Amino acid sequence: MSNEIRPRHDHIGRDDDVVLQIAVESTVETFTWLILDDEGRPVAGAEVDRRATPQGLELSQEFSVTVTDDHFQYVTADRKPGFDPGDYQVHLYLGTPPANARSPKTRFGKLQLLDEDAFSISESERVDSSSHDSPDVGEPIRVALVREGPKGETEQRSPVTYAEFRKFLEAEWGKGEEYDDANAWPVFGGKPYEALRNAARDFVSQAKVTSFGDLLPAGYVEGKLEETESQFPAIQLPRDAHTPYLPGVELIWNYWLEEGMLVQTLNVILARFQNRRLPGRDPLARFDVTPLLPLRNRLWGYTEDEVHRLTVRRRAVEYEYEYGFSLIGRAVPRPHSVVERRNGFIATFHQVLFLAHRYFRELDDLTVQADAFPLYRALRDCHIVLSQGTQNQYGEMAVAARAEFLVMQSILAEPQMREFLGGRPMTPYPEHWMDRVDSMKTIQGWTDTSIMHFNDLATIGEQLVLTIRLGNWADPAVGGAEAATWAQAFRYGIQKYAAAYRAATGVDLAEEPNTEMPSTLLARRLSGARARA
């Protein structure tokens, strides 16, 4: 038996009863069912404890629920209980939400989704049940993986970025509270940092992929998903998977931001905060730390929590294991200390990008019939290489590292950091933490390539790698048609990634599938810039 929730009928009249059929496995002791309207707002639901119902009766593993007035407990004050004509979704969650959640989004967003379905309420008072050839309970109904709201709006899996993390914090804590106002924190102690760290972990742990639709760009989802949904490969689950989803984050995001000097920037600031002199020239020695004092409890908590964070050595060996990417630095382990290295990823991934650009040129040339088969073969080869690294720490490492990097970005984004480091207020940085990193690069004499290019490599690279790793490109039924659909869906991202790679390393992947290590290219470019200076 699997965990399922189904409405008894998918078309219901305004005065008809809404009856849900629920089936849960014997191991599920508590669960929550929820009905949402077409805008994603909770309408009705209940939290169920199978061990002991309020009446003291044991619930069986399969039962039905008739929605009554008592179930409209989640309706907002501006709406009366009941079902208006329209489309509705039903969700089945494992467990019950925390009592201290401040909004429905955070109340249910932290629960594991077991199943979902949909039904509609018609304008008619009654719908003749005899018009149904047979009850549709248990029959598959296409549920939009992207919740279909009003026309012109889309909702999809939010990217796990700093900007989305800030929205999560505002929804959880409210604007202008602890996360936005340093003066509202306790004067001493590490509680503000601990709250930020725990919020980052909660936010990242929600990122999951259940279908290829979760990975598509929003504009494509809105305009073409219904037409081309069958032309994407299925998501490849492990053979013994016990959960219907995979992590929605990739460690390549951390790699590119680490190459962009995000981690080094905060490390140097912490050294100055602790009055430690670093080896070599130390330009921050002349900087007064007074602007950082409102942040001292966060910086103090971050410093004290060092033993619980991932070290650069652990991240470096996992970069090698999953992508074959190496870092250059004193803290990086020697090459012979790595058991396994994904040597084929750079060659196959860059071949995918190169062939995608060739396909775009053929597609734009009306005198040529564009052939996506070579691109499909490259996607298949890259998928196989990536699947070999989808073992051991995969998933756990990416989730933990993402939460830690979001905390770093949040600390750097505080206004006091700009007062401490200075910056260029007229440069249009998309996120507040970015100018702090570029300012530190200028102070330290590091690379002059803007962090904005590395951020593009991180966010777009993650999206592309997720589609290649999780899509079942090795399926014999998948071929050139799916590769062509993939290329057109991600055309903007592929071209933007190649442009950012050229800006950072000087190599144009649209012209050649270069296989040199990115860290080597970056080091060579930095040496050339210093020689010219």
Question: Tens digits of per-residue pLDDT, 4-31?
Answer: 888 888 888 888 888 888 888 777 778 8
**Inter-residue contact 406 to 165 (CB < 8 Å):** yes
pLDDT value at position 51? 67
Domain end marker among 101, 125, 143: 143
- Which CATH number fits the domain that encloses residue 122? 2.60.40.1930
Burial category of 303 from C-beta neighbours within 10 Å (exposed 0-12, middle 13-18, buried 19 and up): middle
- Work out the pLDDT band at 142, boundaries 50, 70, 90: very low
Taken in order 324, 430, 166, 235, the sign of the CA dihedral is: negative
The token pair that represents 277 in the structure block:
């002199």
pLDDT, tens only, 32-45:
888 888 877 888 88
**Inter-residue contact 353 to 507 (CB < 8 Å):** no
Does residue 28 lie in a domain region? yes
Mark whether 215 and 122 lie in a shared domain: no
- Work out the pLDDT band at 154, boundaries 50, 70, 90: very low
Mark whether 436 and 500 lie in a shared domain: yes
- Residue percentage of the chain with pLDDT more than 70: 80
Question: Could you give phi then psi for residue 87, rounded to 5 degrees?
Answer: -100, 145
The token pair that represents 158 in the structure block:
């939010």
pLDDT value at position 175? 55
Mark whether 64 and 209 lie in a shared domain: no
**pLDDT above 50 (res 144):** no
Mark whether 219 and 338 lie in a shared domain: yes
Mark whether 314 and 435 lie in a shared domain: yes
Does residue 173 lie in a domain region? no
Count the Cβ atoms, other than its own, within 10 Å of residue 364.
Answer: 9
Mark whether 322 and 422 lie in a shared domain: yes
Concatenate the DSSP letters of all residues of 197-257 into one string.
Answer: HHHHHHHHHT-EESSGGGGS-HHHHHHHHHHHGGGSPPB---TT-SSS-EES--THHHHHH
Mark whether 121 and 260 lie in a shared domain: no
Higher pLDDT, 322 or 226: 322
Does residue 161 lie in a domain region? no
Does residue 346 lie in a domain region? yes
**pLDDT above 70 (res 103):** no
Q: Taking Cα atoms as reference points, which of 379, 355, 349 lies closest to residue 460?
A: 349
Within its chain, how far is the Cα of 155 from the centroid? 14
- Mean of all residue pLDDT scores within the chain: 81
* 487 sits in which H/E element: helix 480-489
Does residue 299 lie in a domain region? yes
- Work out the pLDDT band at 522, boundaries 50, 70, 90: very high
pLDDT value at position 237? 64
The domain total for the chain is 2
* 116 sits in which H/E element: strand 112-121
Does residue 9 lie in a domain region? yes
- Low-confidence winner among 146-150, 183-187, 366-370 (lowest mean pLDDT): 146-150
Higher pLDDT, 174 or 193: 193
Distance CA 519, CA 481 (A): 35
Does residue 332 lie in a domain region? yes
Higher pLDDT, 355 or 529: 355
Q: Taking Cα atoms as reference points, which of 28, 346, 390 lies closest to residue 209?
A: 390
DSSP 326: -
Q: Please give the model's pTM, rounded to 2 decimal places.
A: 0.68
Domain end marker among 126, 143, 160: 143
- Domain around 468: 198-223+240-532
Mark whether 252 and 131 lie in a shared domain: no
Q: Would strands 112-121 and 11-12 be described as parallel, antiparallel, or unpaired? A: parallel
Please list, in sequence order, all residues whose beta carbon lies within 8 angstroms of the beta carbon of residue 366, skipping any fewer than 6 positions away: none
Mark whether 276 and 372 lie in a shared domain: yes
Mark whether 505 and 364 lie in a shared domain: yes
- Residue percentage of the chain with pLDDT more than 90: 33
- Work out the pLDDT band at 239, boundaries 50, 70, 90: low
**Inter-residue contact 52 to 95 (CB < 8 Å):** no
Mark whether 253 and 122 lie in a shared domain: no
Q: Taking Cα atoms as reference points, which of 347, 314, 387 lies closest to residue 518?
A: 347
pLDDT value at position 177? 46
- Work out the pLDDT band at 533, boundaries 50, 70, 90: low
**pLDDT above 70 (res 56):** no
Distance CA 335, CA 244 (A): 36
For tokens 């998501």, what's the residue?
235
Mark whether 429 and 513 lie in a shared domain: yes
pLDDT value at position 385? 94
DSSP 278: P
